[in-house]
């Protein structure tokens, strides 16, 4: 491969190999079988010599596959989003795809713009992990033949594939664990569900499950920057009576972080007050006595999202997929009540 200031084109390869550019194109478009053995060799050799790689720009301008996958995230700094992104990126790489990441910083206007931008880049597939998502914009993608996968979200008015946590299993697992550990007064803390379906699903399951088991359960639904709301409920939880230990279930990693902060500020000891959170975080083993979590298999989720895209690409009318992954319990001290009496 000779280093060229300008990348080699299909034409140069064709000339060097003494064949037409059509043949070279065929060689790279998965129609090698239709070429004679000699031709295949000559093309391969010529391409090697000039260091040829098909130009994805020209390819997708012509309407071919772009090899680009778009990801729309509401908050790129959310560790969960990062973990998923890692999974996606890995899967893309394996599939020879490139990933275009767009962060909307929770701004619907940005989202619109980002979607338009990705559309103009003719992405082959779109993975969405954003809340206030414009159904109409998404539908545009779908109708124009671009597969869309919703991550950890679902939208009532747009029918696309969905991948995420098995929220029911997660909530059940959390409650079962808390109960088994001797906690019976449960407080569920979540950000306002609003558009985020997974928040809704988790909340709903928590309510019905607790009702079913006759547990003493309450719910705090608040923005995380609202310290007052948080502090008030945490304090109310504090009087620990041995026959009805209280515990907190955090709906996601951001909540866990906020709660851990406030508990420390209020000098509440986890363990005494049970604490379990959905989403595993780097530091959960660090705080005394460690925070029990339900880890999501983020790499698998990312992989599944890409799988969905590719499946639908090959069969545009495939059945709508809904893949839910079970979490893994990582038990730490925060759900270990101190020996009583």
Does the footprint of a copy of itself cover residue 25 (CB under 8 A)?
Answer: no
Helix H or strand E segment including 294? strand 292-295
d(CA 76, CA 99): 14
Q: Produce one character per residue of 92-123: b if its CB has 16 or more CB atoms within 10 Å, e if not.
A: beeeebebbbbbbeeeeebbbebbeebbeebb
Residues 14-53 that bind DNA (CB under 7 A): 18-23, 25-26, 28-29, 34-36, 38-39, 52
Smallest gap from residue 1 Cβ to DNA (A): 15
Closest listed residue to residue 17, CA positions, set 28, 30, 6, 31: 28
Instruction: Tell me, by CB under 7 A, how many residues bind DNA.
Output: 29
d(CA 250, CA 257): 9
Does the footprint of a copy of itself cover residue 74 (CB under 8 A)?
Answer: no
**Which of 31/223 has CB closer to DNA?**
31
d(CA 54, CA 7): 10
Partner in contact with 322, chosen from DNA, a copy of itself, none, beta carbon below 5 to 8 Å by kind: none
Partner in contact with 100, chosen from a copy of itself, DNA, none, beta carbon below 5 to 8 Å by kind: a copy of itself
Does the footprint of a copy of itself cover residue 101 (CB under 8 A)?
Answer: yes
Give, as one character, the DSSP assignment of residue 158.
S
**Per CB under 8 A, which region of 24-32, 163-171, 256-264, 269-277 contacts a copy of itself?**
256-264
DSSP helix/strand/coil, 338: coil
Give 213-238 as a 3 state SS string. HCCEEEEEECCCCCHHHHHHHHHHHC
Does the footprint of DNA cover residue 64 (CB under 7 A)?
Answer: yes
d(CA 141, CA 115): 9
For DNA, the binding residues (CB under 7 A) are 6-7, 9-11, 18-23, 25-26, 28-29, 34-36, 38-39, 52, 54-55, 58-59, 61-64
Residues that bind a copy of itself (CB under 8 A): 3, 5-7, 53-58, 60-61, 66, 76-77, 79, 82-83, 85-86, 89-90, 93, 98-103, 105, 110, 113, 116-122, 136, 140, 143-144, 257, 260-261, 264, 281-283, 285-288
């Amino acid at each position: 491969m000779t280093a060229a200031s300008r990348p080699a084109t299909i034409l140069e390869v064709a000339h060097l190999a003494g064949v037409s550019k059509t043949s070279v194109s065929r060689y790279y478009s998965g129609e090698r079988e239709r070429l004679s053995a000699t031709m295949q060799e000559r093309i391969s050799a010529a391409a090697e010599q000039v260091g040829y790689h098909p130009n994805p720009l020209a390819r997708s301008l012509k309407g071919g596959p772009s090899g680009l996958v778009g990801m729309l995230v509401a908050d790129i700094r959310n560790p969960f989003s990062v973990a998923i992104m890692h999974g996606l990126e890995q899967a893309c790489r394996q599939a020879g795809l490139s990933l275009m990441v767009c962060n909307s910083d929770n701004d619907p206007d940005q989202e619109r713009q980002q979607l338009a931008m990705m559309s103009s880049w003719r992405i082959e597939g779109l993975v969405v992990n954003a809340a206030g998502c414009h159904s109409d914009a998404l539908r545009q993608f779908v109708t124009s033949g671009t597969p869309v996968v919703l991550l950890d979200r679902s939208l009532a008015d747009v029918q696309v594939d969905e991948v995420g946590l098995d929220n029911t299993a997660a909530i059940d697992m959390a409650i079962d664990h808390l109960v088994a550990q001797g906690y019976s007064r449960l407080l569920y803390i979540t950000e306002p569900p609003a558009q985020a379906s997974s928040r809704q699903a988790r909340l709903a399951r928590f309510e019905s499950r607790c009702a079913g088991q006759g547990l003493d359960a309450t719910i705090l639904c608040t923005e995380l920057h609202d310290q007052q709301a948080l502090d008030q409920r945490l304090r109310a939880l504090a009087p620990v009576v041995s026959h009805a230990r209280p515990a907190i279930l955090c709906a996601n990693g951001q909540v866990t972080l906020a709660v851990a902060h406030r508990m420390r500020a209020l000098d509440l000891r986890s363990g005494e007050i049970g604490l379990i959170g959905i989403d595993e975080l780097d530091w959960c083993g660090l705080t005394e006595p460690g925070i029990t979590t339900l880890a999501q298999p983020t790499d698998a989720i990312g992989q599944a999202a890409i799988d969905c895209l590719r499946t639908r690409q090959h069969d545009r009318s495939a059945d709508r997929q809904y893949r839910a992954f079970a979490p893994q319990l990582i038990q730490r001290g925060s759900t270990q009540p101190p020996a009583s009496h």
